[in-house]
Structure 1
Amino acid sequence: MMGKWWLRVLVGLLALVVVMVGGQGNQQLGDAQAATGIPGKGSPSGTPIGIFGFYFTTGFSLQPENRYTSVNRSVMLTTTTAHSILGSVDPFAIDHFQWYQSTNDGKTWQSLNSDQKADLTITPTQAGTVYYQQSFQYYYLSSFLAPIYYSRVAAVTTFPQPIPATGLKVTSDQSYLYNNQRNAMVTYVHGTPTPATATGKLTWTSSDDQLATVNEATGEVKANTSGQSGTVVITGTMTNDDGSTETDQAAIEVGGGLVVEQQVAEGQTATFSVQGSFAEAPSTVVWHRIMGGKDSVVTSENKLSYTTLATSMADDQAQYYAVVTIKAPDGSMQNMTTNRSKLTVIPDTTPKVTITNQVADVTDNTGNTTSELTNILSGDTCKVTGSFSDDNPYSKLTDGEFLITLPTGVQPDITVDGQEAHFGKYPSGDNMKVLVTGVDFSKTKTHTFSVTFTSNQTDNRTMKTWVDLSGEDAQHNKINTYSGAPLTLKFTDGKLHAVANDVNFGEITTTNLGQEIPGIATGDGDLLDVTDNRRHKTATTIDLRQETPFSNGQTTLTAGLSYDDGLGLSSLLTNADQTVASVASGMPVPSIGKSHGENLKVKVATPDFLPGKYTSQLDWTFVTAP
C-alpha cells in the first residue's frame, strides 16, 4: 500500500511541476480579457490553444457569460476547462473550482461555498448587478504548486420584472467538427436574444445525437468519435416567463476532414480541401492517394487543399487523404489524419469516331491511289472499303447509319462486318445517295464495310464521294454526323482525245518582215490539247503537216511555217507529214505547246507582200501501234 501511495504522489507532483510554467504563461496572456471591464479576483487566463480535440495549453474553453434575470428567478453560470497534453499526465488529478462574488464593482471579492462544480446557480432576491468570477486548480491530493486559472468576470443583472425576448440569433464557434479523433471535438453555440437584456431561459437541442450531442444548458456541442458524418442542426430556444418562445438554429458539419465523395467530369480537375479551422498553421500537410491498394504521396507542399491533374478514367475510385501535423507552442507535435475521400470520375460520353475509307478499281487499278481512281471505264468494278471506329469506351453512341454517293443507276453490293447490309437509294442531282442502316455500336465499337458497284458511265466525268456516319444514342437522339475523307472517281470513255487550237501570229509590218515570228495559241495555251483516256497506252507518234499555204482567199502569201520542238530543233513544215512527237508504250500522250516549250513560227518573205488576213490549215495525225 505504501509503495502505491508514494507512486501516486510522485506522479501528481511531476504533473504539477510540468504544467506550472504553462499556467503562468496563460495568466500573463489573459490580463486584458475581462469583458466587463471590472477587475477580478485574479487576472483572467488566456484562451487555451487546441486542435483536433487536443490542447497545447490549459485554461477555460468555455467562459461564464453575462446573464440577465428577474427577481427570484434562478440563473446559472457555467464554465468548461481544457487541459494541455502535458498537464493531463496525472490520471488522478481533477479540477477544483472556486466561485467568487463582488457586489461593489470588483473592489472586493467574497468566496462562495463551492461544491467543486463548474456550474453556479444564482437566485437573486433584489434588482441590481452582481459580478462573478471562477478559478480552478488541477491537482491530486495537494494544491501546492498547482497553478490557478481564472475565468473572465461575468455580470448577472437582475431586473424587477421579466423582460421577454422577441427574437433570437444563434451562432456557433466552429462550423465543422471532426469525427475521427481520439478525443471528441467540441465547440460551443451561443444565443443572442432581442433585446440583449431578455431574461428568458435558453436551452439547446441537437437534431441528431448520433452525429453530435449538445449540453442543454451550456451549449457545448460534442462530435461523435465513431466516424459518422453529416450535418447536425443545433436549435436554441429561449423560453420567456409567460411561456412564449423564440428559436434559431446553427448547422454544424461533422466529418473526417474531407468530403466523403467527390465527382468530376473526365478531363476536369478535382480539389480536396481539409475542412474546419485551425488555431495554429499546420507545420506539414502531406497528401496521399490510394489506388489499387497502393498508397502513394502525391504532394508535401504544406497546403490544406490539393488539386489533381486533369482526370481520366484511370483515376476513377481513387481515394485521397491528408496527414496534418501541428507544432504546439511547447514544441510537441500533434498529427491528424483525415478520412479518405473517394473520387468518382464521370466518363466523357462524347463519341470519338474515326472513319477510314479507300477506293480501288477491281478491274484495273493501274495508276490509281487509295483516294482517287483516274480512269474508270464502263463495266469496271469499283470498290469502296473502310471502317468506323468509336475509340471512347464510354461513348453514348449506340446506333449508326451511313450514307455514300454513287452514280445513278448502279446496283451496289454492300456489306457491314462481312454480312449483307440493308440499304435504300434516292436521287441526288446527277447521282444517287445510298443509305445503310443498322450499324450497332452498343457492343461492338469497330465495324468494317464495303460498297461494290459496276460502272455504267460512258461519258467523261468526275465525281466526289465519301462516307457519312450519322450517330444516335440509346434514346434515339441524334448525336452527330462524322465524315470520311473525300474520294475522287474519274469516269472516262477509254479513248484518246485531241483538240487543235488556233494560232495567231499577230500583225506583220515592215519592221518584222523576214523575221521568225512565234505564234500564240488560243487562250495563250497549248497548240494541241490532248486527253489520253486509253487504258492500254500503246506507242504513239504525232505527225504534223501544213495542209494549205497562207492565203487571204485571193493571194497566197510567200511565208515559211516551222515547228519548234522546244529543244533547239526547228523543222520547216510542208504538205507532207512530219513526226513531231513520239510517245513510248505505256506512257500517256501529252499535250503539245507552251506547257512543254513547243511552238510554231512564221517567216514572211519581203517581196510580193500585200497587207491582209492570211490563214493556213494544219493537220495533226496520231499514229498508234500496232
Structure 2
Amino acid sequence: MINITFKVTVGLLATFGCYILFQNKLIANNVFAGQTEEINQNNNEVSEQTNGESEIDVVNFNRPISPNPVHVPGWYFVPGFITQPMKEYNVHLKNDFQITAKVGLNNTASSGFGGNYFSWFVSSDGVNWDKVSQNKHSRDTIDTSVLTDSSDTEGVRYYQAYSEVQPQVFNKPIYSEIATVHFIKGDVNATEIKVNTSKDYLVSNPNFDQYISASAITQPKGATGRVIWSSSDTNLATVDPYTGKITANPNRKTGTVKINAEIINPRYMRNSNVFGYKELQVKKMLEIDGETNFQNTVLFRLNPDFDLSKSKIEWFQKLDNQVHKFTNISDQIISKEIKLQDNNSEIYAVITPLDIDDKPLPNNATESNHVKIQVKDMPPGANRNVHIRQSLSNISIYGNSENIGVHQLLKHKITFNDDSETYGYNDDNVDGNLRIPISINETNIKIESIPSGYVPDYRIENDGLHQDIIFENFPIKRHFGFDLIVSTRVDKIIDSSFDYNPVYKYRTLFNTDETVIGKPVHAEFSTNTIEINPKDINFGEHSKLEKDDVNREQDLDNEKFVDIRDKRIKYSPISLFVSSSGFQRKGAPVRNVPITLANYDENGIEISPKGNYFEVASSMNNSPLKSVFWNRKQGLKLKFNKLNFPDGDYHTTLYWTLEDSINSQTK
C-alpha cells in the first residue's frame, strides 16, 4: 500500500636575600623624594652621595651596615632589612619628613619570642651619634618602623635604623643603610636625571613576588623636585610611582621594559620637568640552553643569580597528564638528550626551602615555569600512517543505500591498512581508540573481522539520540590490513538520513595525537512514502479580448512546479494526475465560469485529458517518481470557452492524485 505524506609557566622565582626595596613615603607637601643610587652591598664601604657631580665626605657609620637577610621563597632564615632608607632626602626647613625601614623576620626563631624592637640614631657630623626619641617612631609594627623628624636650621643630618629581632640568642642586632637628609631653604631645579636599578633584570613568576628598586641621580646636586616613577609596559612590570619599587607582572610574559623617572620641578618653573629611564629585562626562572634537535643534548638551567644552597631541588618531566621524576638529580642545571618521545613534553623544577636543620618545608615549595620541548629535525620517514575505507550494503536490496526501510539488514564494511615506515625507531603495532557511529535506527549489532581474530573488546554507547561502537584498545599491525564487518538490523525509523564516518585516534612516534576519519558514507532511511509538494500557479492579469488561451505568469524554463520525494522501498510504476475543482470569481456566488485548464507537452502541443484528469508525471518499474519541471511551452495553461463573463479575480483548487496498479491517493 502506498501512503502519501504531505508536507562550537612561569614558575619559580625567589629573592634569596639580594634585593633592597626603597619604600619611603614622604608626606609633607614640601618634602621631596630623594634621588638615590644603587646601594653599596659591602658592609664597610663608604656610600656615595648621588645628588651631585662629586662624592661627599666619608661618613663614619654608627654601626656597620648589616648583610641582607637569608631568604628563600616565603621563608627567612637570618633577619635583615628588606626596605632600606633612601640614601638622600631634600627637605624644606620646619617641614616633617618620614623615613621607613622594614625587616624580613627570621620566621624560624622570632615567632612567639617577643617580636622585634626598633631604634633610630641621628648624627650631624657622621661621627657622633645620638639615639632618637621613641615618640618620633611610636607607631612601629613588628616588622616596620617609620621615623618622623624636622629641622629649623639648614644643614645635613644622618639617620640609621637599628633592630633587635627576638630571641637574641639566635639573632644578632641589625643596622640599616644610612640616610642623608639635607635641610634647605629654597628650591633647586633639576636639569638632568639618571635612573639606576638595584638589578638589571626581573623574573616573571606567578608563584613568587620579586621586587627590585629604582633610584634617581639628579644634576645639579640637591634638586628638590619630586620624582615620579612609571613603567613603559605594565604587562611586564609595574613600579610604585612614589617609592620606585619595581614588581614583575606574574603573567609569565618576558621582554624589555623601560622604568621611567620624571622629576617634577617647582611649579613656578614652567615646562621644566626632566625625564630619564632605564631598560630592564624580564626573564623566566627556568631557561633552556641549546636546540631541541633530535639526539641533541641540551641544558635546563635555573637562574644562577639565586642562591639555592638552602633548598631542595627536584626535576620533573610531564607529558599529557603523566609526570616522571628525575632521580639522583638535585643541581640547578640538568642535561638531557632529546629523544622522539620527548616531543611536546614539559621540563620543570620544584624548589623546597630547608629549615635550620636542613629539613624540607613542603608548604613553602615553589614550582618553576615549564619549558616545553618541541623535537626538531625528525628522522626522515619515521611516521605512522593508518588508512580507513568503508562501504555500506543493504543486504535486503543489495547495493542500494537509499530509502532503507524497517526490518532491512545492513552490513558496514570498514577496511584498515597500515603502511608506517619507522626505520627501527619504534616497530610496535599502532594501538589506538576506534569509534564507529551508527544510526539510532539500527539494532542487533554483530561484529566480525576478515581475517578472523581481529575483534577486540568493545562497548555500545546509546543515549537515545546517538549510537556509537567504542573500541578502547584497537591494535593495527604495521604493514598489515584487515576488514571489520558490522552487521545491523533496521528496527525503527528515527534518523531520516545518516552519515557513517568511523574515527580512529592513535599516538604517533613523536607523542602527538593523530586522528584518521573515514570518508563518510551516506544513507537515506524511509517509511515507504511519497511526498508531493505542488506550488501555487499564477496566471497573471489579462484582457478577455486578448486571446483565448493564457500562459502561466512564470515563464522560466525548467521551473519546478511539483517537488516529489519518492521514499518507497521498492519502486513500482506510478503516475501523478491533476484536476480542477472549477473556476470561481472571488466574492461571487458559485456558478459556471467559461475557463478551463489545458495541458501541453514540451513542444507546446495540447495533450488530451483522461476524463477530468491531466497526467503530469509517471515512472517505470524500479525507478522513482521524479519532480515536475515545466518549460515555457509546457504544462498547465488556461482556455476560455467564451469571452462575455464578468471581470474579477478567478481561482480554482487543484487536486493531485497518485495512482498505481493497487490504489490511488489524492491531495
Q: TM-score normalised by the shorter chain: which range applies?
A: 0.3 to 0.5
TM normalised by structure 2 equals: 0.41
**Rg larger in 1 or in 2?**
1
TM normalised by structure 1 equals: 0.43
Larger relative contact order, structure 1 or 2 (CA cutoff 8 Å, min sep 6): 2
